Amino acid sequence: MSDGFIELRNIRKVFAGVVALDAMSLVIKPGEIHCLAGENGSGKSTVIKIMSGVYRPDGGEILIDGKPIAAMTPIEAIAHGVQVIYQDFSLFGNLTVAENLAMNVHLGEKRRLMNWRRTRAIAREAVDRLGVELDLDAEVASLPTAGKQLVAIARALMSDARLIIMDEPTTALTRKEVETLFRIVRDIQARGIAILFVSHKMREMLEISERITVIRNGRKVAEGPTGDFDEALITRHMTGGDILNEPYAWTPPPGPPPVPRLEIRGLTVPGKCEDLSLAIRPGEIVGLSGLLGSGRTDLALALFGMVPGYKGEILIDGAPVRLRTTQEAIAAGIAYVPEDRLTEGLFLPQSIKRNMLATSYERLAPKLVIDRSQAEEMTQGMVRAMQIATPTAEKPVMQLSGGNQQRVVLARWLLTDARVLILNGPTVGVDVGSKAEIHAKIRELAQHHGLAVLMISDDVLELVQNCNRIVLMHRGCFIEDLPAAAVTEETVSDRLKTFT
Amino acid sequence: MALLRRSETVIAGILLLAMVLIGTINPAFWQLDNLFSLMRSNVIIGIMAMGVLLVLISGGIDVSFPAFAVAAMYLTIKGMLALGYNGVVLPLLAATLMGLAFGAVNGFFVYKFRMIPLIVTLGTSAMVRGFLLGVVGTSMININKMPTALIDFARTDVVSVTKADGTTYGLTAMVLIYLGLALAMHLVLRYTMIGRSAYALGGDPEAARRAGFDLRKTIFFIYCVAGALAGFAGLLHSGMIWLANPRDFVGLELDVIAAVVLGGASIFGGRGSVLGTMLGVFMLVMVKNSLIIMRVDTTWQLVVVGLIVIAATALSAWRDRRRAA
């Protein structure tokens, strides 16, 4: 039975009366790549913290090499070779790669003095062991996300790890970087180190893992070799139901073609994008993809009035507008949901209500005093319409799941009567169930409210399923404008891969 | 060119440029006695700046050190007079320990209650100053009562030159104390784990906790050292100016913080060096000194120092943001 390196048996964990984990069991065999799948809030991070000794379970057993561990502490977990790579990597941006790598060794040896030569030697060894190129003298803050991740992995490997837990490791990576990461993960596995990949991205799980455990609401609902699973099955386990995925169809209304909701003519942002022209008609959802740095975000920012120096014309419903500030963009009917909703879009400690109304205060308070009853009415209506799971609109946004947070951002823009909706990575970091709901909402907005939607995403499947057209961008130019019905995820991905 | 990208190089360049500029406007600037007096003016601000540097690196800020300095100085001299003691080493030690104890109070609140250092140090600063003036006294101790040993010690010169007209001037030996403390701070920051823990704490407190740094030790160390340096500098200052004024050092925090930020330390924590700080101190003192020579009103000097703080902070914020991008 116990052929696992680490095993959780019937773990139970309760936080302030709320059961986070119940009868949770998980076996990780030595040297395997195991995936822990589950939606946000399903208990994945609690599992990580129990395995790494941060939380003490309220019931159940933890076994390592078949022997029960009486009380797992972080130090004991590390001593047994359990290493966690957190989503934020836990690195010191102001220090060099070398010092970041050697820090734990120095601390472990309880040193008082800093030996720089030894620091370099330790770091050199760690980097060589991982088999990657890293500038040891570079400041970590200057590295791209993928580079920071390499440093974090190299550091985890140094401590004679037997299991490396990676929490959502692919979130901020491009497709190419994900491939590099997977190659490294397989390398690590070849040395007999097990990997626990915690994720909600199904294609990545299926690609990398050997076994999958799916949890839902704090319980294990499925477990088995990866070969037994496909995307639909994992989704069903994760959400407890099927999710429909029909491509979005848009047919122009009969008669003369309608005036585009959003039209850009020869839009140029010096050094970022060049001579872009595009028309989006009411009800259309247009996808925009390209590698990072292709200029897609610059286009979005220009449309939202954040690049006042742009050249070219922007027309809303046929009327030319000049967008020099975000206020002007909002007044013109443009809404922008940024890539990183956590840092750019939301005031996390503030209530749902305040977040929703953040861009509507001018309308709510024409004479400086806020119309409270109208504000209440608007928020209640939106909480219902967007199906945000909360007992009250006074709840701080940071207590909501990622999907619900995204819905709050969408709700905010709907309240401004936006006519053009620009979404930048609308479902990054959102679990499958919420993702489908957000997609349904976006489609509904386009179809029934006549919005023009520009959806920017790295997730090609998301674009293929939800857009009627897909525009590919590279080095600041539009390369192709494809009808979504004529393409598949593979053809678009292959096309993107030719851009370098 | 790694050397060109270092902020110290940039600061040194700006400093040199400013010196040439000031020297052109006022050739007397380059005279040896002016340079010696400039270096003398570096000592007290420089020693205090070492403490502020340490605090800034750790992501904190300290506005209480002038109050600690004046309290340590005045209490020590009052004590010396009461006991009739005339010496150097023990009083300096006493002032240093007093500053250290005050600093420990800062450290306690910053660590135990996770309070914002600005608020903590504003509070302790007001309390210490108020206590000093209310309980200990408000009268100045002039040269006629000052302990002679302190004055004699602070008068020591490393070199002295006799001018053609027979007057002599020299470079105070206190500069050596400043240089020694600066070197010690450099070694602590660069070659000890406690120094590196200050950088780690300033870089990412959460990561520092996870990595297993003893943050209690680090925070107490930082605020105690800042307090101790202030106490030491306070007493040394009174020896150098032959006066113990319980209302001294008002507004000095601005000068010192300006100098440290000018020296390339980040107001957000995590970055800063001793060499840069020394250059920053020199630049600030030189600018203020030149304003005096040019007969600029003291109120306008305040404007200039304020401008320097804003400009230097803006510059370092811009630099840090660019680095993070």
Residues of A in contact with B213 (CB under 8 A): 107
Residues of A in contact with B323 (CB under 8 A): 139, 141-142
Lowest mean pLDDT among A118-132, A173-187, A234-248, B104-118: A234-248
pLDDT tens per residue across span A233-249: 888 888 776 655 677 88
pLDDT tens per residue across span A18-52: 778 888 999 999 999 999 998 766 788 889 989 98
Residues of B in contact with A52 (CB under 8 A): none
Is A222's pLDDT higher than 60?
Answer: yes
* C-beta atoms of B204 and A93 within 8 A: yes
* C-beta atoms of B270 and A103 within 8 A: no
Of A295, A293, A320, A322, nearest to A310 (Cα)? A322
pLDDT tens per residue across span A310-343: 999 999 999 999 999 988 898 888 988 876 655 5
Asked, for residue A180, whether it belongs to a domain, the answer is yes
Mean pLDDT rounded to a whole number for chain A: 85
Which pLDDT belongs to residue B1?
Answer: 41
Residues of A in contact with B212 (CB under 8 A): 104, 107-108
Residues A159 and A273 in one domain: no
CATH code for the structural domain at B7-318 = 1.10.3470
CATH number at residue A49: 3.40.50.300
Nearest beta carbon to residue B202 from set A94, A112, A116? A94
Residues of B in contact with A141 (CB under 8 A): 323-324
How many domains does one find in chain A?
2
Highest-pLDDT range among A145-154, A457-466, B6-15: A145-154
Q: How far is CA A364 from CA A175, A233, A357, A368, A384, in A?
A: 43, 47, 9, 9, 20
Best residue in B5, B196, B271, B319 for a mutation probing chain A (most A CBs within 10 Å): B196
Nearest CA in chain B to A113: B192
Residues A283 and A146 in one domain: no
Asked, for residue A101, whether it belongs to a domain, the answer is yes
* B27 token code pair: 């050739």
Pick B187 or A440 by higher pLDDT: B187
* A226 token code pair: 């990866």
* C-beta atoms of A94 and B190 within 8 A: no
Asked, for residue A301, whether it belongs to a domain, the answer is yes
Residues A282 and A190 in one domain: no
Which pLDDT belongs to residue A339?
Answer: 67
Q: Mean pLDDT throughout A58-72?
A: 89
Full residue range of the structural domain in which residue A274 is found: 262-498
CA dihedral A316, A320, A323, A329 (to 10 degrees): -30
Give, as one character, the DSSP assignment of residue B244.
Answer: B
Question: What is the secondary structure of A277-301 as a DSSP string?
Answer: EEEE-TT-EEEEE--TTSSHHHHHH
Residues A293 and A225 in one domain: no
Pick A388 or A191 by higher pLDDT: A191
Residues A116 and A30 in one domain: yes
Asked, for residue A308, whether it belongs to a domain, the answer is yes
Q: Scanning the structure block, which residue is given the tokens 């954040």?
A: A306
* A138 token code pair: 């570079």
Residue numbers in chain B where pLDDT is lower than 70: 1-5, 322-325
Question: What is the secondary structure of A99-153 as a DSSP string?
Answer: HHHHHHHHHHTT-SB--HHHHHHHHHHHHHHHT----TTSBGGGS-HHHHHHHHH
Best residue in A94, A117, A151 for a mutation probing chain B (most B CBs within 10 Å): A94
Asked, for residue A245, whether it belongs to a domain, the answer is no
Helix (H, G, I), strand (E, B) or coil at A499: coil
Q: Domain coordinates of chain B in residue numbers? A: 7-318
Which pLDDT belongs to residue B4?
Answer: 53
Q: Mean pLDDT throughout A76-87?
A: 88
* C-beta atoms of A91 and B207 within 8 A: yes
C-alpha to C-alpha distance for B325 and B322, rounded to whole angstroms? 5
Residues of A in contact with B206 (CB under 8 A): 88, 90
Helix (H, G, I), strand (E, B) or coil at B58: coil
Give, as one character, the DSSP assignment of residue B141.
Answer: B
C-alpha to C-alpha distance for A498 and A480, rounded to whole angstroms? 13
Q: Mean pLDDT throughout A373-402?
A: 81
Asked, for residue A296, whether it belongs to a domain, the answer is yes
Which pLDDT belongs to residue A1?
Answer: 45
Residues A91 and A233 in one domain: yes
* A365 token code pair: 């308070």
Q: Scanning the structure block, which residue is given the tokens 């003298």?
A: A137
Which pLDDT belongs to residue B5?
Answer: 62
Residues of A in contact with B211 (CB under 8 A): 90, 103-104, 107
Residues A149 and A216 in one domain: yes
Answer whether B275's CB lies under 8 Å from B186's CB. Answer: yes
Nearest CA in chain A to B212: A107
Give, as one character, the DSSP assignment of residue A230.
Answer: -
Nearest CA in chain B to A84: B210
Residues in chain A: 500
Give, as one character, the DSSP assignment of residue A351.
Answer: B
Residues A317 and A214 in one domain: no
Beta-sheet strands, E only, within A387-494: 420-424, 452-456, 469-474, 477-483
C-alpha to C-alpha distance for B274 and B56, rounded to whole angstroms? 12
The alpha carbon of residue A104 is apart from the nearest alpha carbon of chain B, in Å, by: 6
Residues A214 and A101 in one domain: yes
Q: For chain B, how many helices (H) and strands (E)?
A: 14, 2
Q: What percentage of chain A exceeds 90 in pLDDT?
A: 33
Asked, for residue A247, whether it belongs to a domain, the answer is no
Residues A363 and A461 in one domain: yes
Which pLDDT belongs to residue A500?
Answer: 65
Which pLDDT belongs to residue A183?
Answer: 92
Nearest beta carbon to residue A114 from set B192, B207, B270? B192
Is A104's pLDDT higher than 90?
Answer: no
